[in-house]
Structure 1
Amino acid sequence: MPEHHPGPTTVTLSAPGIRVDLVGTGAALARVELTDGHGDGPVDVVLGHGDLSAYREVRDFQGATIGRVANRIDGGRFHLGDRAVEVPLDPDEPHALHGGPEGFDRREWTLVEASEDHATWSLTSPDGDQGFPGEVEVEVRYAVAPGRLTVEHRATTSASTPVSLTNHSYWNLDGEGRGDVLDHTLQVDADTYLPVRPDQIPTGEVRDVAGSPFDLRRPVVLGEVLAVDDEQLTIGQGFDHHLVVPGEGLRRHAVLVGGSGRRLEVWSDRSGVQVYAGAHFDGRVTGPQGVAYRPRAGIALETQAYPDAVNQPGFPSVVLEPGQTYASTTQWRFS
């Protein structure tokens, strides 16, 4: 008989005006349905998979918890003190990406507890997992309230190891499957950004956004700014860059407004936000409404630490030590 794989655990959270579906694969955010008076009836504003098995089978990170280390690691190599560490490369590029080919986004997480308005998932990442040292215990907690969705990440480790977690949701505020986001406006509260080499690894420079397409301190129309002739936009096929948000603690990182007028504010205590404008969608992924996703079907606003920080002494460290607790909070506020 063929081997049977049970489907992932699913959880639904709700509060007035908002319903959220979570999937145990990747502790992923699969649906964010808003009832807010914009348009007809509830609208799902986050991209997802039409088939739940695709969260395991298709590695495109939709809605997933990313770890151990979000974003790229140059050549999949770094040092922890005197120790050389090598982690698997991404199948499609010469660097490690988002924790490795079998990163946290591919795992079945354990549902710890759930109620009407919150749920917590846990994962044990063993010593040597995807090449990373130390056993890491991770928890992700989602909570909803009227007009608000919060995600909290926590992690501890048995040995020195890099930890940088994020959520990798793609947003389309006019509705999942309703075309591209080129008519959305984006504002990011960042004075600087990290330019990248042609292979998309940060150069190490922290560059002023002034005079560049990365000056998003005032709202810009995505279709207009992505059409600008700029070397960095060419490298990233549009935005695929980390913007540094000054300050500490929970603060606003970004504002996204759809053509419908629906508004999302992203608040976080992370150092910045990786803005990725969804260039890779090519029609092979189908969403819950049965619509194939094309380029710019959604935009990711990934609150996280600096990419490749393990190889960049000028960047804030992402190394977690035994006895420490990694803790981060991101809020999505809708209006």
Structure 2
Amino acid sequence: MKQYFLSAVLLGLLVGCNNSQNKAESSTMSDSTSTVTADSVSGLPERSRFQKDVDGKKNDLYVLTNSKGMKVAITNYGGRIVSILVPDKTGKLVDVNLGHSSIDDYLANESFFGTLVGRYGNRIGKGEFKLDGKTYKLATNNGPNSLHGGKKGFNAKMWDATPAGNNVLKLHYTSPDGEENYPGTLNVDVTYTLTDDNGIRIDYQATTDKATVVNLTNHAYFNLNGEGSGSVADHLVEIKADRYTPVDATLIPTGELAKVDGTPFDLRKPVAIGDRQDSDDQQMKNGGGFDHNFVLNGGQTAEPRVIATVTSPKTGISMDVLTTEPGVQFYGGNFLNGKRTGKAGKPYEKRNAFCLETQHFPDSPNQPKFPTTVLKPGETYKTTTEYRFSVK
């Protein structure tokens, strides 16, 4: 606290000066660790606009930095990524992550922007599943189905945050037995690490005291031209998947693992998103564009591997997605409707972003041929995903 006070005094003395070294230490941190506060870094939301009690806990904004100048802002509420500042081909920092500039905006406009998703990411058909002979009824918050953990999933929870140096933030949440009608007390730990090769690594770990189902992911919305800059139709996307899971009209998988050959879902070579998303293919009509799970080649792996790459021809920013997961949901922002205004003060319109949500497959608890999402006592759920940025 003393160090934070001294930093504040120095800041006052240096008003009007362009001092790039001006930093303040987070008041939530011990003397042995430090981080950059958001209100001292150009291009990031003000930290003070996130410092508010939510559900009886103190919310804050934490900024991770690396040696390359990249910056990532994360808040407790939903454990969500608020901003991702990466250099473009000219060296200018660009915020490529959709989000809001204050905690009040997130609370007033509940969304999945940048958030952690659980207890079960994606959809569960008809809002129910059977486990050990018992049927569990879930909230149906997406037509007839349950989506992203229910009416108040992990995206709407306050996570305990522990910074660990300039580039690591550890988050914890305990989901009680019966929350959103899922069985078992689930202890979840998520670690965000900003690497020196401009990667945002997300390590997930969870344990339970009763058999349950778990499917955790992050729901960052990306625009590599910069958030608030309009359509992502020009972005080139490549996904290493020979198959995908077709869906019905409510976006629940049919159970088939269909080949991508000869379909708009063949993204094994770079393709402009806009060249495929308005196809007359029935599957594309069902999703209103891309909103499908891709079955990643190689299945679940022990170590993360590159499974997708997206590049902006305009900024030169390229993003590799690495994961240990067997699937990824490629979503083209079809349901953005201009009702939410972003950090740049511009509304987020339809298809102004894309998501690559690493995961087990949707509706796995009801699909015996899909990789299981059941977690039992004594087992540890572990997955890793990384979003790695570069310039091409």
- Residue 262 (structure 2) pairs with residue 262 (structure 1): no
Query: Alpha carbon RMSD of aligned pairs, Å?
Result: 1.3
Aligned to 2:272: 221
Q: Which has more strand, going by share of residues?
A: 1
The 3-state SS of whatever aligns with 1:69 is coil
Q: Is residue 185–residue 209 contact of structure 2 (8 Å, CA) maintained in 1?
A: yes
Structure-2 residue corresponding to 1:230: 281
1:26 shift after superposition: 0.6
Report which stretch shifted further, 58-67 or 201-210.
Answer: 58-67
User: Aligned AA for 1:252?
Assistant: V
Given the superposition, is the C-alpha separation of residues 296 and 41 from structure 1 closer, same or farther in structure 2, using an over 3 Å criterion?
Answer: same
Read off the aligned partner of 2:311 and give its amino acid letter. V
Q: RCO (CA 8 Å, sep 6+): is it higher in 1 or 2? A: 1
Sequence identity percentage: 38
The DSSP-based 3-state class of the residue aligned with 2:180 is helix
2:363 to 295, 304, 308: 308
Q: Deviations over 1:298-324 (max 9, x none)?
A: 100000001000000111110100011
Q: Could you tell me which of 176, 179, 185 is aligned with 2:230?
A: 179
* SS in structure 1 at match of 2:276: helix
Of 300, 305, 321, which aligns to 1:251? 305
Given that 1:50 and 1:290 are in contact with CA atoms closer than 8 Å, whether structure 2 keeps it comes out as no
Cα distance, 1:51 vs. partner? 2.8
Output the CA distance in 2 between the equivalents of 1:49 and 1:35.
21
Secondary structure of the 1:93 match is: coil
Q: Which protein shows a greater Rg?
A: 2
Report if the CA contact (8 A) 1:282-1:293 is conserved: yes
> How many Å separate the matches in 1 of 2:245 and 2:138?
23
2:87/2:317 contact within 8 Å kept: no
Specify the alignment match of 1:83 in structure 2: 134
Query: In structure 2, how many angstroms separate the alpha carbons of the residues matched to 1:110 and 1:9?
Result: 10
TM-score scaled by length of structure 1: 0.96
Instruction: Identify the range of structure 1 (225-234 vs 301-310) with the bigger mean alpha-carbon deviation.
Output: 225-234
Normalising by structure 2, we get a TM-score of 0.82
Aligned CA distance change for structure 1 residues 57 and 137 (closer, same or farther; 3 Å): farther
Show the counterpart of 1:29.
Answer: 81
Cα distance in 2 for residues equivalent to 1:55 and 1:165: 21
Distance 1:55 1:160 in 2: 33
Give me the whole-angstrom Cα distance separating, in 1, the residues matched to 2:163 and 2:138.
32
TM-aligned CA deviation for residue 333 of structure 1: 1.1
- Distance in 1, matches of 2:87 and 2:306, equals 23
Instruction: Kindly provide the CA deviation profile for residues 18-76 of structure 1, in whole angstroms up to 9, marking residues without a partner as x.
Output: 1000011110011110124x246210011111332233343320100000000000111
Number of equivalent positions: 330
Whichever residue aligns with residue 135 of structure 1, its letter is: T
Structure 2 gaps of 5+ residues are 1-51
Which consecutive unaligned segments of at least 5 residues does structure 1 have?
none
Out of 155, 176, 186, the position equivalent to 1:126 is: 176
Q: Which moved more, 1:155-164 or 1:42-51?
A: 42-51
- Tell me, in whole angstroms, the C-alpha distance in 1 between the residues paired with 2:53 and 2:72: 25
Q: Out of 114-123 and 96-105, give the one that drifted further.
A: 114-123
Partner of 2:247: 196
Quote the Cα distance in structure 2 between the aligned partners of 1:39 and 1:282.
Answer: 31
